Every structure is written in structure tokens, then in C-alpha cells.
Amino acid sequence: MTAEARSAQAGYAGATRYRWYEAVPFIVAIGFYFAMPDYLSLGSRILIFVLFALSLDLVLGFGGIVTLGHSAFLGTGAYVAGFIGAYSPVSDPIIQLLGAVLAAGLVGFLTGCIILRTKGLTVIMLTLAFAAILLELANKASAITGGTDGLSGIQVAPIFGRFEFDLYGQTGYLYCLGVLLVAWYLVRRLVHSPFGTSLTGIRDNASRMHAIGAPVYWRLVAAYSISAAIAGAAGALLTQINQLVGLDVLGFEPSGEVVVMLILGGVGQIYGAFLGPAVFLVLQDALAKQFPEFWYLGIGIGLLFVVWYAPTGLIGLISRVARRWGRP
Amino acid sequence: MSVVLETLNLQRSFGALMVTDNVSLSIPVGARHALIGPNGAGKTTLINLLTGVLSPSGGSVRLDGEDITGVGQAARVKRGIARTFQINSLFRNLTVLDTIALAVAERSGIGWSIWRPANSYRSVRDECMEILTRLGIADEALRQISELAYGKQRLVEIAVALGLRPRVLLLDEPAAGVPSMESGRILEVLAELPSDIAILMIEHDMDLVARFANRITVLVAGAVLTEGAPLEVMADERVRSVYLGEALHG
Amino acid sequence: MNPVSDLAASLISIGFYGISYAMILYVISVGLSITMGMMGFVNLAHGVFAMAGGFVLSICLARYGIPFPLALAAAFLSVSVASVALERGLYARFYGAGELTQVLFSIGLIYVAIALARLEFGTQAAPIMLPDYLKGQVKILGHDFPTYRLFVIVFGFAIAFALWIAIEKTRFGAFVRAAVDNRAMAQSIGIDTRRLFTLTFALGSGMAALGGALGADVLAPQWNYPLEHLVYFLIVVSVGGFGSLHGPFVAALLIGIADTLGKYWFPEFGAFLIYAATIGLLLWRPHGLFGACS
Amino acid sequence: MTRIKAPGLFFALAFAGLAMFSGSGAVSAQTIKIGVVSTFSGPAANFGEYSVKAMQLYEKLHASELPAGVKIELLVRDDGGPNPDKAKQLAQELIVRDKVQILAGAGFTPNAMAIAPLATQAKTPFLILNAGASVVTTKSPYIARFSFTMAQSAAPLGSWAAKKYKTAFTLVADYGPGVDSETAFTSAYSASGGTIVGSVRVPPMTLEYAPFLQRVKDAKPDVLMVFVPAGKTATGLMKGFVDLGLKDAGIKLVGPGDIVPDEELANMDDGAIGVTTVYHYSAWADRPANKAFVEAWQKEYGTSTQTNTFAVSGWDAMDAIFQIIKAGNGVVDGDKAMEVLKSYKDANSPRGAISIDPETRDIVQNEYLREVRKVDGKLENIELETIATALKDPVKDQMKK
């Protein structure tokens, strides 16, 4: 990436104004709504994972924290939204969403305070371990979580009291898109702020950031908590769309897959988080249909291909191609 | 001259190895102080102790007469101690401007701002450009660090430290790895720094030390061998033998 | 009936199982520790080699009736050789790449491997038919111990000893230690790190295969093996401290015994204990028990 | 200035790519579409694989019975394991996009629960092929179960065990089915006068059972009831049972049939011999209907593969689907189909006489006492006696009382 391209993104000399291509994901998403009304269920799933990947991009892409336990927050959000819907009279989706965001942010803050004292592989192990403990906890507390049978009986009222979640998933899709839009705006502001720039600095060279007097640890804890809160929102959406929470939201699979999706798309560039999940889930959907039993092979080869030819992810690949075309 | 930074019997050991052995230094306001010694003498360790990267096994560090031995790295920076690194320690993926702006932003307390875009902080940008102009690298402001020549990266190292508006500047071999033609430029830059900044410089190049310093401390095996005015120190037999040995090795 | 000697008998029995489980973990993980420490490669696909070892053993025993010791050797050799091709063809390209790329690469490799394993071996675990002389029980000091578990323990200690000799006392070992300490330095003093990496990688993968084969009776070779057991291997390596040789040994013993005793005394805490212990240990020593503290 | 133009293009392509996968096209009105959402990858890949194979086999053998011109199309989707959100997405797409008339599958209870509201909304009959939690059928009036409930085997097992053994220990995997069978066994066993001397719940993916079995050994029960996931976990348990000397100590190992699955027996060693279980099916049952089923299966898929519970669920479900199609003469209407299902009876299923309880839409079937024996050098589940005839789900029966 050239200096111009980089500075066009963020930083003190950067440009914060919006460029046309930043609207593309949303235009495509809206186009998708009209063009493929039969695929809105897959569409919602993609939007939710985009949100999840976006939250991961904040810590992994901008903060440089490699985590294999991000499902801890997806799961916390999913269960808290589920608890509110199942055990309290509150069935308003927005309130459930906010509850999930707060709870996941809090869990992120508490675990972040511990995890971020360490570095490298130790961080990976600690994130893994915390997610595993939460999974065990949810399994043990089957009286309230439903254990492996899942938490059901979740009441979700129509959004704003008007728009009901329907069989075709139209409301759900637009709702997810709305939440994603808000989260994207927040993340974008954050990334362009001095805080975001300092995160990039920490990722590139933490000891340098110490030397200029930045409170590196607390910056990371803050980023981690915000990321957790956004992941919690993704979890809440999952709950509200399905009106059911399964134990698998806390499992290793979402943690691992979201990392794969994000790296596939490209880390630290916001839009990699949009592209990665879209490609991964569409591929998964298509391959699982063609060869229901062996889609791993396709995904695996696809990943090796990307690692081999596009180490900066699909976004990196695209900008390379774009540059070549742009300057013959 | 009032003392700004001093150490009293500072000690640090790694296991059985004493890397800083009873070092007492005192740096007055406006000092141009050089710290020399052979490889492994514990010079960088001393800087790490002064900046709070390492905590000492014994002794104390004082700033303006106040004990800051237990004070963390960030807080020391806030109180005016800045450093550069022996090996370029910059942000490969950031621009020169952003690199310095990070320091300026931390100093002016906007590092926590999460809503306003960074580029809307005009004053930060102006201050960065002012520093870059002073160092003669304003043209490079928008280039990425990794695209810069090594000598220019050394200047950026100094610029970052200046962005912190230090009262005490600790330079860890500012000209290391720079061809002698360019090292002259670095010396010029240092000479132009405000005279009220106290500077402690680690340096190997005796030529450079002779031109820069008005006081020299010689560190050998973690302990102070001698301290004094440049001519005095360079005439010292022990120093000569240490450096002769070093030269033969090197 | 004497409750004290009853408890002692139970503990001896449990401890025995814990140690044999630990040996399996150790033999599989030690290779990962060395490759991670020396090449700085986050190889999440290490379990693939262990799985391959298990499958090779199963095929040798069930399909071709090859004697057990030869089958173990075959697992080690075939996987070592195959891993050289993988290392030269794929891994080598990513030595300089970042952690993230390596994570993605090795996950891709896992996906491909498990898909192939499924195509070849189906969804069920491969059967392991132990020879008769390793079945049954052995009586030692009045206690009955399963013969195979005893074999695993003896074998594990022998491997640990052999590796210690190989790394501490041979020229190859000296090179490996030098490269773990400082790769650039090793290169500058004339060590052919390229070849050294390949050899070490082959050794590490071979150890994984040996461990996978040795442990196949407990951790049955099945196509999802590399993902299923990944976390345990990583725990052993990170608790032991990567790049260390005796680290994984001590960590495996610690984890094997603690896990087994924990499940015996507090079964209701299930998997909590092991994760809580890992978190505790890593907070106490972030670089692991024997990791380089830099 | 560099403009990153292509991302947009790529997004467009990525989503446009979707369009290509959507083209199922128009089919003749006489094609009945059946969507199967089950597990074909992950540790539980057997669930879907065997059910679908049995459904295809039934369809192949009975195609001539369909009304003239009517064809059946199976649309198979992989939920990858206990992933309710994935299962729900797949089911929803099958309903709204592929317009399937009948749904089947659900290896896991949470997946069934996630699909249930869709079945209700779309009035699509949903035939459960595995998920065994009692509560599943209450989640939608369009659900009918062709597999089993956990209590159906565990409760008769408890009553039977209490008559022969005074003290029992239970060891179950700490997840839904395990806890369900523990509960059903314990209450039946206690009700019939037995004493539970201990119980332990183990992590579901446990392979090394030594520490748990040592607890059992310490407690010295007469009988040990276990439920752990089929496959290598169950194999590991039986190895430990022998290795730790529980078998020699005279402790009897019993459990629901899930612990000695028919398709896994070939991979188990002799440690499994003597394990006594209660289940609704055995591949070695000598009912003529079963012999014919096994023969047809092995002719189609090879003699090395066994029929099992997933296969028989798929087989019977397909039989019911044929009845629905025949009753509607090629037209499937959700409500009418449910009427057919509620009165569904088959005296000649490979598992014996079965029917669907019109009240609960749950399966009513026999339970057999079986023992693992070695016959001609191979392990087989031999049915000893029928210990419950036309048994309804005991949990729902109890709730009524």
C-alpha cells in the first residue's frame, strides 16, 4: 500500500471525507434485498458476521491483538439478549440489543484487563481459555441457558413496535443492516480519531508507544472492550433473528471462522471485514450445497490460494489490481 | 546550574550479572552530556532505567530532586523525559507526519479522543510540520517511514522525541549506522536544540562526542570508570586502554 | 477394608493414567514447541501430522498386519518424509510472514487435511488393533496396570531421553539450539538454516506422528482430529514455553496429572480446571515455565 | 491519488455470484420436494449420511408405488452440527426459495427447535430423524418424530435394572441427551426400588475416562448406567471399563443403545462384549422386515456398512412420506399431511411395529433388551427380549399425570 493510499484512510494528515466506494457495501446490501428476496436468511447471516468481523478488525487489525476467543463476546451478547427476551417482560429488540452490548463490553473489559497484560502466543491462549470457560459455564448453567438444547422461548417484539420479524426474513435483514450501518459509522470514526491512530501505532510498535508516554495497556483494554461490545451486538442480532440461542455461539468455531473471514478479506482496513465474511459464507453456502459433505476441501484450498497470492487479503489483492489497471 | 535528572547508586542485575553497578550521575539543566563505554558496558540499560522501562535492583532516580524510581514509563514522559532508540524504532506503516503526531498528541493529551477525526487537530499538524521543518525533512512528511533512507529515519527518531517537548532528552547512539557525511547533519540538528534541554547522549564515535559534549561519563562493566570534561577524560590512560581494546575487537 | 490404602490405591491408579496421558501429549507437542521456537511459525496444523501418524498405524496394523513396532516406525518415517515435501513446498514460503498469515495458512491446511482424511477414511474413528502382548494387565507391587499404558509411559520417557541426547549432545542439536536462540546469529556463523529448518521440521512432524500413533488407542484417529485436540497441544506448548525441550515434558506431566486428578476429585468442574490452570500459569509466567524471558 | 475502485466491483461480483446458485428452476408440479437439514460434516456426520442413504434406498425400491408421474426430489443441506442459526437459515431457504413441501432431519435438538417455528409459519410437515429431547414435538404442531426420545430407552432400562441389581452408578455426558437419560434412568430405577450410589457428568467429548471410572470403582455399585456420545467416546469408555478392572470387579455396564451403535461395533474391541443396552433397533434383529432392510442396504452400499438408528429413522420417515403422497394423490398439503402422520402406523418396520401418537406426534415403538455378543468373530447387538411394547414417550406421559 502506498503512502497516499494509507494516508487517505486515517491519521493526522489523512482525509476523513467519505469516498464513493465506501458506500458500495451498503448499496450492494440494499440491492441484494430487492434482487434476492429468497436469500435474505443467508444475507442476514452475512451481515451479522460482517458485524462480528468488524469488531474483530478493531482489535486484530488496528490493535494487533490476535485472538482465537472472540466468540466469548458473540456468545455473551447472544445469551444476554436471550435472557432479556426469555426471562424479563422486555421484548423490545433495541433494549435487548443495548443490554447485550453493555454486557459483552463489560466481559470484554474484565477479561481484557487480564489478557492484555501478556503478549503474542500467550494472548492467543488466554483468549482461547476464557472462551472455553464461558462455554463450560453456559453448559453447566443449563437451568437458565438451556444447555445443549438451546435457549428458546425468547420474546422479540416488532421493531419500534411496528415491524415484525417475518418468515422471509425481510425485517430481520433490514434490522441487521441498520445495526451494521451504525456500527460501521462508529468504527470508522474511531479508526480516524487520535485514539485509532494510536492503536495503529501500538500494533506497529508497542515499545515505541510506551516511549512516547502512551498508556498502551489501557488503550488496548479500551479497544478490546469496544470490540467486545460490538461483537455482543452481533450476538444479539443472531439471537433475535433465530429466537433461539445455541451453545455453539460460544464455541471455538465462530472464533476461528471469524479470524479466517477477516484475514481473508484483509485486516486493518475496515472493508476487509465486509468482503471476507461475504465471500466465505457465500462459498460455504455454495460448496455445502454442491458437496454437502466436503466443503472443507474447497474452503481449505481457497484459503491456501488467498494466502499464497493475496497475503494482504482480498482487499489488498483488489487494490493491487486496481492500481495496475489505473496506471497502465 | 540546577540539577534536573540524577541517579543515586543505581543498580540493576540480571541474575548474577551486574549490568548497572552503583551508578551516580547528575545531569544539570542544559547539559550536553555524553555517556561512552565499550559494548556491553550497560549504557542502554542505564537509559532503560532512567525512562522506567526497567526497574532498578537498587538505588534511585530523581527528577527535579523528586524520587521517581517507582514512577511508570508513561508518567516519566509526561514529566519531560524523552528518549530515542539505538536501532530505529518507528512505525513502518505510518507516515512521517503521523509518527510525530502520535507523540505530539500524547503530550497534548488528545490520545484518548475517540470521536473527532485526527486530521481536524490543526494545531497538532502545525506543530509536527514545525518540527520537521526545523530538522529539514518537511518534504518527507507524507511519506511512509519504511520508504525513508536510514539517515532520515534517524532524524525522525529525534523528531518524535522533540514532539514530546522534553526537558531531558536521552539519545541512544543517534548517529548509529549513519554514514559520516550524514552524521554531521544530525550533529547540526542537535546543536540547534534549545539550550535549556538537558541532553544525555550515548555515542561510540569519539569525534562526535568531542564536538557535542561538554561533559563525559565513561561506563565500563556497568560501573562509572571516570567522569569529567572531554579533554580530561580522553587523556585518561584507563579510558584509552579501554578504547584501544575496543578498537582492536571491533 | 482400609480407607486410607483404598484411597492410595485409587490415587496410584489415577496417577498412572495421568502420566500415560501426559506422555502422549508430550510426544505430540514437543515437535510443535521446537518448530514454534526456532522458526517462529504459528503452526496450528501440527495436529494434522499426529492424525496422519494415527492413520498410518491403523492401516499398517489392520490392513497389512505389520507388527506394532514396525508400524510405529512407519508412522514416524512416512510422515517425516511427507512433511519435508510440505515444508519445502508450502511452509518455507511463510517463514517471514506475519503471525496472521501463518494462522490463516495453517487453518487452510487443516481444512484440506480433514477433508482428505474424510474422503479416505470416512467419518468414523479408525480402529487400532493392539497386538496381544500389549493387551491385558501387568502386576507391579500388587497393583494391576494396563500393559499398553505402561508401554506408553516407558516409551514416552525413552523419547524424552533420546531427544535430550539429540539436542544437548550432538552437533545437530547444537545447531538447533543456536537457531532457537538467535536465528540471524546462527546464519551468520555459517549454519545452513534452510536445511536445518527442513530437518527440524521433519523431526517435529515425525514426533507428532509418533505421538499420534502411540496415542491412537486413546485419542482415536478421526478426520476432525487436528481441530479437536488443537487446544490441548497449544496449552502444552504455551505452558511449557515454546522453543524449550523439557518445557513440554514438564507441562504435559503437569497438565496430564492435574487434569486426571481434577476430574477424579471434582468431576463437576469438568473442563474448567484445565483452562483455569492454564490462565493462572500463563499469568504467573507469560512465557511459559521454561520459555525464554526476553 | 490512488483510488481503490475495485472493492465495489468485487462486492458486486460476490453478491451477484449468489444468483448463480439460486437457479433451481421450475419443476413439474408432480415433483415432491423434500428438504433434509441434517449433519453431514463434523463429528456427527453419521446422522445425516445414514438417514439420507436410507431415504434414497427406500425411494429407489418403492418408486413404482408412487402415483403415476409423481417424482420425489431430495434437497440435502448440511448444518454442520449443533448450529441452530445455520439450521434455521437452511430450512428457511428450503421453504421460501426451493419451496419444499416436506422438511426432515434435525440431528440435534437445538437445530430442531430452531426450525420448529418455521414449520409452523409455513405449515410444512417436519419429520424429526434423530433429535431426542422430549420437548421437541411440543414446539410445533407440524412436527412428527420418527426417531426416539431419550427417556424411551432409559426409563425401561431403569425399571429392568432395578429388578436385577440393588445399587447403581450413573455416568453420563454433560449435555442434553446425557442429562435426559440420567434423569429418566434414575427416576425409573429408584421407583422400582433400586439405590443410586453415585452419579457423575463428564464433558461430552471425553476420550480418557480413567478418572471418572475410578470414582465408580471406588463406589462399588452393582450396575453402571452410562450415556456418552456414540463413536470413539463410547469406545474409550469401554476400554477404560475393562482396563481399570471394573469388568473384573463384576460391575455390569448398561445404557441406552446409543453407547454401542451398530455401525461402530466393528471398530470396538472385545471390551464391549456383555454390554447390555435398551434400544428400539438393532441391525441384527431377526425380524423378517429387518432382514430384508439390511439385505437391501448392504446390496446397495456394500456389506461392510451397517444399518443403524439413523438409517431406520430415515427409512420409516420415507415410508410415511410415501403414505402422505399417496393419500394426497401426488399433492402435499401441510394440514392434510399432518392428519396422515398422526394416524401413521406400520406394523412391519425394521424395528417392529411403530406408530405416531396422534396426541403428541411422537413415535410409539417397542424397546428391546440387547447384549453385545461375538458372533463369527464379529461383535453384534443381539436382541434378548422385548421389554416394552408400543411405548410412548415416558416424559410426556408423566407430565400428563
Whether B26 is covered by a domain: the verdict is yes
Confidence of residue D311 (pLDDT cuts 50, 70, 90): very high
pLDDT for the residue A325: 78
Mean pLDDT taken over chain A:
88
> In Å, how far is A279's CA from the nearest CA of chain B?
27
A13 chain-B contacts, CB cut-off 8 A: 95, 97-98, 101, 119, 125, 141-142
Whether A328 is covered by a domain: the verdict is no
Nearest CA in chain D to A250: D83
pLDDT at residue C183 greater than cutoff 90? no
* CA end-to-end distance (rounded Å), chain A: 18
pLDDT for the residue B18: 81
A63 in contact with chain B, both atoms CB, cutoff 8 A: no
Q: Which of C101, C278, C283 sits opposite A114 (nearest CB)?
A: C283
In CATH, D2-148+287-361 is 3.20.20.70: no
C275 in contact with chain A, both atoms CB, cutoff 8 A: yes
Query: Is the distance from CB of D182 to CB of D395 less than 8 angstroms?
Result: no
pLDDT at residue A29 greater than cutoff 90? yes
A210 in contact with chain B, both atoms CB, cutoff 8 A: yes
In CATH, D150-279+366-399 is 1.10.10.60: no
pLDDT in tens, D30-68: 899 999 999 887 777 888 999 999 999 999 999 999 988
Average pLDDT over every residue of C67-74: 93
Whether B158 is covered by a domain: the verdict is no
D111 chain-A contacts, CB cut-off 8 A: 246
Query: Is the distance from CB of B147 to CB of B22 less than 8 angstroms?
Result: no
Cell of C69: 513396532
D205 in contact with chain A, both atoms CB, cutoff 8 A: no
The percentage of chain A sitting over the pLDDT mark of 70, rounded to a whole number, equals: 94
Average pLDDT over every residue of A63-70: 91
pLDDT in tens, B202-236: 987 777 888 888 899 988 888 888 888 888 888 88
> In Å, how far is A38's CA from the nearest CA of chain D?
5
What length is written for chain D? 401
Confidence of residue D7 (pLDDT cuts 50, 70, 90): very low
Domain extent, residue B35, equals 3-88+165-248
D239 chain-C contacts, CB cut-off 8 A: 217
Residue D276 has φ and ψ, to the nearest 5°, of: -110, 130
Which position has the higher pLDDT, D231 or D2?
Answer: D231
pLDDT for the residue C146: 86
Q: Where in chain D are the domains?
A: 2-148+287-361, 150-279+366-399
Q: With an 8 Å Cβ cutoff, are D201 and C268 in contact? A: yes
Nearest CA in chain D to A295: D41
Cell of A138: 453456559
For chain A, how many structural domains are there in total? 1
Closest CA to B97 of A201, A167, A145, A283: A201
pLDDT at residue D123 greater than cutoff 90? yes
pLDDT for the residue B238: 84
Do the two domains D2-148+287-361 and D150-279+366-399 of this chain adopt the same fold?
Answer: yes
B73 in contact with chain A, both atoms CB, cutoff 8 A: yes
Confidence of residue C245 (pLDDT cuts 50, 70, 90): confident
Q: Where in chain C are the domains?
A: 3-284
pLDDT at residue D15 greater than cutoff 70? no
Instruction: Report the amino acid identity of residue A321.
Output: V
pLDDT at residue C187 greater than cutoff 90? no
B94 in contact with chain A, both atoms CB, cutoff 8 A: yes
Q: With an 8 Å Cβ cutoff, are D243 and C268 in contact? A: no
Confidence of residue C49 (pLDDT cuts 50, 70, 90): very high
3+ Cβ–Cβ pairs closer than 8 Å linking D and A: yes
C107 chain-A contacts, CB cut-off 8 A: 256, 259-260, 303
pLDDT at residue A246 greater than cutoff 90? no
CA distance D190 to D195: 6
pLDDT at residue D1 greater than cutoff 70? no
Q: With an 8 Å Cβ cutoff, are D235 and C220 in contact? A: yes
Q: With an 8 Å Cβ cutoff, are A292 and D78 in contact? A: yes
Q: pTM of this prediction?
A: 0.87
Q: With an 8 Å Cβ cutoff, are A211 and B89 in contact? A: yes
Q: Which chains touch B (3 or more CB pairs under 8 A)?
A: A
Instruction: Report the amino acid identity of residue B236.
Output: D
pLDDT in tens, A120-152: 778 888 999 999 999 989 988 888 998 888 898
Average pLDDT over every residue of D86-99: 90
Give strand pairing partners of A151.
Answer: A245
pLDDT at residue D195 greater than cutoff 60? yes
> In Å, how far is D394's CA from the nearest CA of chain A?
19
Query: Is the distance from CB of D257 to CB of D280 less than 8 angstroms?
Result: yes
- C:239-268 residues touching chain A, CB 8 A cutoff: 242
C246 in contact with chain D, both atoms CB, cutoff 8 A: no
Nearest CA in chain A to C280: A126
Query: Is the distance from CB of D383 to CB of D285 less than 8 angstroms?
Result: yes
Q: Which chains touch A (3 or more CB pairs under 8 A)?
A: B, C, D
ipTM at complex level: 0.83
Q: With an 8 Å Cβ cutoff, are D11 and A167 in contact? A: no
Confidence of residue A92 (pLDDT cuts 50, 70, 90): very high
Whether B196 is covered by a domain: the verdict is yes
B79 in contact with chain A, both atoms CB, cutoff 8 A: no
Q: With an 8 Å Cβ cutoff, are A117 and C286 in contact? A: yes
> In Å, how far is D261's CA from the nearest CA of chain C?
11
Nearest CA in chain C to D267: C127
pLDDT in tens, D138-162: 999 999 999 999 999 999 999 999 9
Q: With an 8 Å Cβ cutoff, are A294 and C286 in contact? A: no
C-alpha atoms less than 13 angstroms from C-alpha of D156 in its C-beta half-sphere:
26
